[in-house]
Chain A
Amino acid sequence: MKDLVREFLWVLLSTLCLGWLPWWQVILVSAATAPFLLRLTERGFKRRLIFLFASCLVLFFSFHASRSLVANAVSKLFRLPHFSLLAVLSAGCFSLAIALAAESVLWVKYTLRKVGQKIPFPSTKKLRFR
C-alpha cells in the first residue's frame, strides 16, 4: 500500500511537471525522483506505464480541448481525424519515455546495490526485486 501511494505521487509529480516544464526536464525530474519513490518490481513497469499513460491522457485531453483550434489543425497535420487521437499519441510518447527513464534508473540503482554488496549477478528468473 505504501509503495502504491509513493508510486501514485511519482505519477502525479511527473504529470504535473509535464504540464509546465520542457519535456527533457520532465524526464530528468521523473528519473531523479524514481529511486526515492519507486521500487524495481516484477510488475512495476507495466503498472506505472498504465497509470502514467492514463494521467497524461487526462492532461493532454484537457489541454487539447481548451486549445482546440490549434490542436485540430495540428491533428490534421499528423493526418489524425480528431485532436483526441493527438492527445493519445502525445500521452503515449511521453508516458513511455518517462516510465522507461525511471525503469532505467531503477536498474542502475539495483546494479549499484548488488555491486556494493558484492552479490553475484543472478538470473532475472531468480531475482528477488523487493
Chain B
Amino acid sequence: MSDAKQKRPYLLRILGTWGVFLCVLGALTLPLGPLPPLGSFLSPATGFLRNAPSNSKQSDPQVLTLSGLRSEVTISVDIRGVPHVTASNDTDLAFGQGYITARDRLWQMELQTAATAGRVAEILGAKAVDFDIKQRKFGFLSAAAAEVEFLQKNDPDQFQMLLAYSKGVNAYIDSLEPATLPLEYKLLGTRPEPWTPLKCALFHKQMTWILTGNEDDFKFTNALQKYSDEEMENLFPSFLAGSTPILDEKIAQMSTSDLTGFNSVTSPFIPDGLFQLSELPVKNKDSRSGTNGSNNWVVDGVHTSHGYPVLANDPHLDLKLPSIWYEIQLTAPSVNVYGASLPGLPHVIIGFNENTSWGITNAGVDVIDWYAMTLDRSQPTPKYLFGEQWRDAEVRKEIIRVKGEPPREIETIQTHLGPIAKEVSVEKKNGGLQTLPIAMKWTGHSPSNEFRVFFNLNRARSVMDCKSALTAYEAPGQNFVLADKTGSIGLVQAGRFPMRSAGFGRTVLDGSNPVTEWKDFIPFSHLPQSWSPERGHLSSANQQPTRMRPNGFDSGDWGFTSYLRGKRIAEKLATVETGEPATIGELMKLQNDVVDLRAKELLPTLLNWVQGKTKSEEAKESIRLLSRWNFELKADSVEAALWSEWWSQFYDMIWEKAFPKPNFLPPSEDRTMELLLASTSGHWPENTNVPKFSSLPDLAAVALEQAVKTLKLAANNQELDNTLPMWGQYRGTNIPHLARLPGFGFEKLNTSGNGNTVNATTEKHGPSWRMVVTWVDALPKAWGIYPGGQSGHVGSVFYANMMSSWLKGELDQLLFVQQGTLKESLTMERIKLEKIK
C-alpha cells in the first residue's frame, strides 16, 4: 500500500475532529435565528443563570459609592419589593429613584423609550423598520426634544431633577458587566445606552399618545359619504339620553360662560371616495365591550363610617410584564409620598402623602385632528397650500439605524399644522387610487411641564394645593379625583383641550382651509370640576364629563367610553346620600364589581324576542340559563360567556352591512342598545343597509344559535369537560411580556368582567393598578396591587408575585413609612448610596 493511501484515514480523523469542534464552537458563538449565542447564554458564569437576583433577605446593607450625589441616599426595599428612598434633598431623591428603578426595570425603560423615538430597529433589526418610520413620521422624537428644551429654559429646577434621575439610572448602567446585564439584553445581544432627560420626555410622549391617540376620524369621514346628516346625528349623537356624565348640573362648579376666539366652522374634508384603512391584525373576543376603562371615586369624610375620606383608583391599561407601574416611596425634607410611579419618569404619578391623595382616569377628550393637505412635492422644498398661500414645508432627514444592516435615511415633512404623519389611500369613485398626505395636529406635540405638576402634587398639603398644581397640567388629559385628611374632596378634568364648536374634530379636516385651524385652548376655569359637593362623593370612569357645554366647549366627544361603568359606580356611591355611611371595605369591593348594566337593561328584551324562535336544544337551554342569570360577568359563569358572545354576534350582524370593516366605525354599543330598546317606539333607523325593525327578533335568534355554536367549538378546542365554556375560560386575559417572549408572560388568566363593568378586565386590558387610600387617626392608610411585581427580572420572586392576589381582587396593605426607617422585620434589603469623597 502506498504512503498516500496510508495517510488518508489518519488525516481524515484529525481534520474531522477539528471540523466538528469548530462547528460546535461556531454554533455556541453565533446567534441561531432568533436565539442568542448559546455559549454565553447557557454558560452559568455569564448567561441567564446570572439573572436570578437573590430572593432571600439581606442582613447587611449594600454600600455603593457613586458620582453625581450631593449627600447620602438610603433605599430600603420592603417585603413586597417596594423601595423606600430617603434623601436629604430633592435632586438626590430623584437620583435614588432613577437608580433603583433602573435596577428593577432598566430594559423596560429602554425599550419603551426606543419605541417612542422610532429606534426599535436598532434593537430588533430590520423587522422593526416600518414601525420606526411610522413613529418618526408621528414626530414623537422632535416633540420630546422640544419638551426638554422648554424645560431647560422655563423650569431649570425640574430639568435638574431629570438630570439627577438620569444620573441615577446611569450609575446603575455603569455598574453592569456583560454577565450582569438584564436577561433581555443578553437575548437580543444589545447593551443599554446612557439615560438622558430626553428619554424621560419620550416616555411622557408615549403615555400621552397611548391615552390620546385616536384615528377614528377617517372612519367617520367615510360614513359622511354614505349617510345624511340626520342619519349621522341619529346614529352618532353627541349625547345619549341615558348617559351619566362625570358631573351633573347640581355639582359642577366650572364657569359656563361662552368661550370666544375659536373657529366655529368645522369644514370637514370629504375626499372623492372612501379612505382605505387597514384592519387591526388581532380581533379580540370582547373588542366591542368598551376599550380602556379606568375608574376613580372619592367619598368625603362626612359620608364614611370612620370620618375620613376614602379615595379609590384603578387605571386600566394594556397589561404587560414588566408592569407599567412601579411602586415607590420617596422621602426628603420637602416630601413624603407613596404610590405608583412610571419607570422612566421621576416623581409619583398616582398616590398619596401624609395629607392628600389623588387618582386619575383618562379624560378621553379628542386632542388630535387629521388634516388632508394639498402638498406640492415637485419643488426642491415641498410646499403646502394654506388659504391662498403656498407655504414652505420643513423637511428633516432622519437616520434609522438597523441592527446588522446599513442605516436607512428617511425624510419627514413638517407643516405648521403638524407633521405629515401618514399617507392614506382613497379609492376614487371613478376608479383608481389617490394618495393623500395627512398632517397630524396633536396637543402632545407641544412642550408641557407635567414634571412640575407631579412634583407639586407629591408635596400638596390639601385639595386646594392639588387644584393649584393642576392648573398647569396639560397632557395627557386626565380626570383627577382628590382628597385630603381634613375631609375635603375634589374632581377636575385637567388638560390642554382645544376650543371647538360642536362637531369639530370628528372628521378629517381640510388642511388648506384656515378656518380648520385650532385657535386657543379651554381655560382652567371652564374645565369640568367640582370641589367638596354636599352629596359627598365624586367619580369618573372615562365617560363624557358634563352636559354643560358653553359655546366653544366641545371637548370632542369621540374618545369617551361607554357610560355604563360610570353609571354603575354612581349608583353604588349614591347610597351614601341616604345617610348610610360608606365603609372602606365596601368602597374597596366596588373595584371588583362585575355587574354588566348592558345585560341588565337589554337582556330581558332580547330574551323576549327570541322566545320560540330558536331551533337547537342548546339555544333553548341557553335561553333558560340566561333568564335566571344575575348579570354578573364572573369568571366561572357560563351565562356570562353566553351573553357576551351572543351580544357580540348580534351587534356585528346589525351593523356589518351598514358599516363594513375596516373602513367604517359602527355606532357605539351604548347607542345600539338605546336604539334597540327604543325600536318598538319607531326609533329604529330606516336604511337599506340596516336590518328592518321587524327582522330584529329573527336576527337575535340567529345570533344566539351562532353564539352557542362558537362557544361549543371553543369548549371542544380547549378540551373542556363542560359543553359550554365559562367566561374566564372562554375569554381569558393575556399578560404578555413586553417583547412577547414566550414563558415570560401569562396567558388565558381566568378573569371576570368586561370593558363595561367596574372591574373592566378584557382580553388584554385591565386594572393596571388598584389603590384605595384613607386616613385613620390622621395617618394615611392605603392598599394597592397591580398585575405583576416590582422586578422586571423574570428570575426574581418579585417578577409576578402580586399576580395571584390581583386575580382574586385582593389588595395588599401598602407599607407607608411615616417617620424614620422601615422596620427590620419588613425589610428585604438596604442599599446605601454614598457620594464620592
Q: Which residues of A contact B (CB under 8 A)?
A: 18-24, 26-27, 59-60, 63-64, 67, 69-79, 86, 89-90, 93-94, 96-97, 100-101, 103-104, 107, 111, 120-127
A-contacting 9-mer, from B406-414, B737-745, B753-761 = B737-745
Contact of A76 with B742 at beta-carbon distance under 8 Å, contacts A90-B42, A97-B24, A104-B17 already known: yes
CB of B795, distance to nearest CB on chain A (Å): 3
Query: Can you list 10 A-B pairs, Cβ within 8 angstroms, ordered by A?
Result: A18-B43, A18-B45, A69-B795, A69-B799, A70-B52, A90-B42, A100-B17, A107-B14, A107-B18, A111-B14
* Complex: A78 Cα to B28 Cα, angstroms: 15
CB of A82, distance to nearest CB on chain B (Å): 12
CB of B400, distance to nearest CB on chain A (Å): 28
* Complex: A73 Cα to B800 Cα, angstroms: 12
A-B residue pairs, 10 tightest by C-beta: A76-B743, A70-B795, A67-B52, A100-B21, A23-B43, A73-B794, A90-B42, A124-B9, A23-B39, A73-B743
State whether the Cβ of B25 lies closer than 8 Å to any Cβ in chain A.
yes
Contact of A93 with B38 at beta-carbon distance under 8 Å, contacts A19-B44, A70-B48 already known: yes
Residues B25 and A97 in contact, CB atoms below 8 Å apart: yes
State whether the Cβ of B40 lies closer than 8 Å to any Cβ in chain A.
yes
Contact of A20 with B45 at beta-carbon distance under 8 Å, contacts A75-B743, A96-B24 already known: yes
* Complex: A53 Cα to B8 Cα, angstroms: 31
Picked from B14, B28, B179, B183, the residue with its CB within 8 Å of the CB of A70 is B183
List of B residues within 8 angstroms of A59 by Cβ: 44
Identity of the chain B residue whose Cβ is nearest the Cβ of A89 in the assembled complex: B42
State whether the Cβ of B6 lies closer than 8 Å to any Cβ in chain A.
yes
List of B residues within 8 angstroms of A94 by Cβ: 42-43
Beyond contacts A72-B743, A104-B21, A121-B11: 14 other A-B pairs, Cβ-Cβ < 8 A, are: A22-B43, A23-B39, A27-B25, A63-B44, A70-B793, A73-B794, A75-B743, A77-B742, A93-B39, A97-B21, A100-B20, A120-B6, A123-B5, A125-B9
* Complex: A74 Cα to B794 Cα, angstroms: 9
Residues A107 and B17 in contact, CB atoms below 8 Å apart: yes
Q: Which residues of B contact A (CB under 8 A)?
A: 3, 5-14, 17-18, 20-21, 24-25, 27-29, 35, 38-40, 42-46, 48-49, 51-52, 179, 183, 187, 741-744, 793-797, 799
List of B residues within 8 angstroms of A27 by Cβ: 25
* Complex: A101 Cα to B20 Cα, angstroms: 10
Identity of the chain A residue whose Cβ is nearest the Cβ of B12 in the assembled complex: A124
List of B residues within 8 angstroms of A18 by Cβ: 43-45
Picked from B13, B51, B796, the residue with its CB within 8 Å of the CB of A124 is B13
List of B residues within 8 angstroms of A96 by Cβ: 24
CB of B395, distance to nearest CB on chain A (Å): 43
Contact of A23 with B46 at beta-carbon distance under 8 Å, contacts A75-B743, A123-B6 already known: yes
Residues B48 and A74 in contact, CB atoms below 8 Å apart: yes
List of A residues within 8 angstroms of B9 by Cβ: 123-125
* Complex: A38 Cα to B796 Cα, angstroms: 42
Picked from B6, B46, B51, the residue with its CB within 8 Å of the CB of A22 is B46
* Complex: A79 Cα to B35 Cα, angstroms: 12
* Complex: A75 Cα to B3 Cα, angstroms: 52
Residues A70 and B17 in contact, CB atoms below 8 Å apart: no
Residues A69 and B797 in contact, CB atoms below 8 Å apart: yes
Chain B interface secondary structure, helix, strand, loop or mixed?
helix
Contact of A23 with B40 at beta-carbon distance under 8 Å, contacts A69-B795, A127-B10 already known: yes
* Complex: A59 Cα to B18 Cα, angstroms: 27
CB of A98, distance to nearest CB on chain B (Å): 10
* Complex: A84 Cα to B43 Cα, angstroms: 15
CB of B307, distance to nearest CB on chain A (Å): 45
Contact of A79 with B43 at beta-carbon distance under 8 Å, contacts A93-B38, A101-B21 already known: no
Picked from A22, A64, A73, A76, the residue with its CB within 8 Å of the CB of B40 is A22
Picked from A20, A67, A121, the residue with its CB within 8 Å of the CB of B6 is A121
Residues B44 and A69 in contact, CB atoms below 8 Å apart: no
* Complex: A96 Cα to B20 Cα, angstroms: 10
List of A residues within 8 angstroms of B20 by Cβ: 100
List of B residues within 8 angstroms of A64 by Cβ: 49
* Complex: A121 Cα to B35 Cα, angstroms: 43
List of B residues within 8 angstroms of A60 by Cβ: 44
Identity of the chain B residue whose Cβ is nearest the Cβ of A76 in the assembled complex: B743
Contact of A70 with B794 at beta-carbon distance under 8 Å, contacts A22-B43, A77-B741 already known: yes
Identity of the chain B residue whose Cβ is nearest the Cβ of A77 in the assembled complex: B743
Contact of A79 with B742 at beta-carbon distance under 8 Å, contacts A70-B183, A73-B794, A97-B24 already known: yes
Residues B45 and A24 in contact, CB atoms below 8 Å apart: no
List of A residues within 8 angstroms of B796 by Cβ: 69
* Complex: A72 Cα to B298 Cα, angstroms: 43
Identity of the chain B residue whose Cβ is nearest the Cβ of A69 in the assembled complex: B795
List of A residues within 8 angstroms of B12 by Cβ: 124
List of A residues within 8 angstroms of B14 by Cβ: 107, 111
Contact of A74 with B17 at beta-carbon distance under 8 Å, contacts A23-B28, A122-B10, A123-B6 already known: no
Identity of the chain B residue whose Cβ is nearest the Cβ of A78 in the assembled complex: B35
List of B residues within 8 angstroms of A69 by Cβ: 52, 794-797, 799
* Complex: A93 Cα to B35 Cα, angstroms: 15
Contact of A63 with B49 at beta-carbon distance under 8 Å, contacts A77-B742, A101-B21 already known: yes
CB of B17, distance to nearest CB on chain A (Å): 5
Contact of A22 with B45 at beta-carbon distance under 8 Å, contacts A70-B795, A76-B742 already known: yes
* Complex: A100 Cα to B25 Cα, angstroms: 10
List of B residues within 8 angstroms of A23 by Cβ: 28, 39-40, 42-43, 45-46
* Complex: A123 Cα to B51 Cα, angstroms: 50
List of A residues within 8 angstroms of B29 by Cβ: 24
Residues A103 and B21 in contact, CB atoms below 8 Å apart: yes
CB of B798, distance to nearest CB on chain A (Å): 10
Residues B797 and A120 in contact, CB atoms below 8 Å apart: no
Residues A93 and B7 in contact, CB atoms below 8 Å apart: no
Identity of the chain B residue whose Cβ is nearest the Cβ of A75 in the assembled complex: B743
List of B residues within 8 angstroms of A24 by Cβ: 29, 39
Residues B10 and A121 in contact, CB atoms below 8 Å apart: yes
* Complex: A75 Cα to B42 Cα, angstroms: 11
* Complex: A18 Cα to B24 Cα, angstroms: 16
* Complex: A90 Cα to B40 Cα, angstroms: 11
List of B residues within 8 angstroms of A86 by Cβ: 42
List of B residues within 8 angstroms of A71 by Cβ: 48-49
* Complex: A107 Cα to B16 Cα, angstroms: 11
List of B residues within 8 angstroms of A21 by Cβ: 45
* Complex: A90 Cα to B47 Cα, angstroms: 11
* Complex: A79 Cα to B832 Cα, angstroms: 41
Residues A73 and B744 in contact, CB atoms below 8 Å apart: yes
List of B residues within 8 angstroms of A89 by Cβ: 42
List of A residues within 8 angstroms of B21 by Cβ: 97, 100-101, 103-104
* Complex: A69 Cα to B776 Cα, angstroms: 39
* Complex: A22 Cα to B29 Cα, angstroms: 12
Identity of the chain A residue whose Cβ is nearest the Cβ of B55 in the assembled complex: A69
Most chain A C-beta atoms within 10 Å of own C-beta, residue among B9, B13, B43: B43
Residues B28 and A93 in contact, CB atoms below 8 Å apart: yes
List of A residues within 8 angstroms of B46 by Cβ: 22-23
Residues A77 and B744 in contact, CB atoms below 8 Å apart: yes
* Complex: A21 Cα to B7 Cα, angstroms: 39
Residues B45 and A121 in contact, CB atoms below 8 Å apart: no
CB of A75, distance to nearest CB on chain B (Å): 7
Most chain B C-beta atoms within 10 Å of own C-beta, residue among A26, A97, A120: A97
Residues A100 and B743 in contact, CB atoms below 8 Å apart: no
List of B residues within 8 angstroms of A19 by Cβ: 44-45
* Complex: A20 Cα to B179 Cα, angstroms: 11
CB of A83, distance to nearest CB on chain B (Å): 10
List of B residues within 8 angstroms of A74 by Cβ: 48, 183, 743
Residues B49 and A123 in contact, CB atoms below 8 Å apart: no
* Complex: A26 Cα to B44 Cα, angstroms: 11
Contact of A122 with B6 at beta-carbon distance under 8 Å, contacts A69-B795, A73-B794, A104-B21 already known: yes
* Complex: A127 Cα to B233 Cα, angstroms: 95
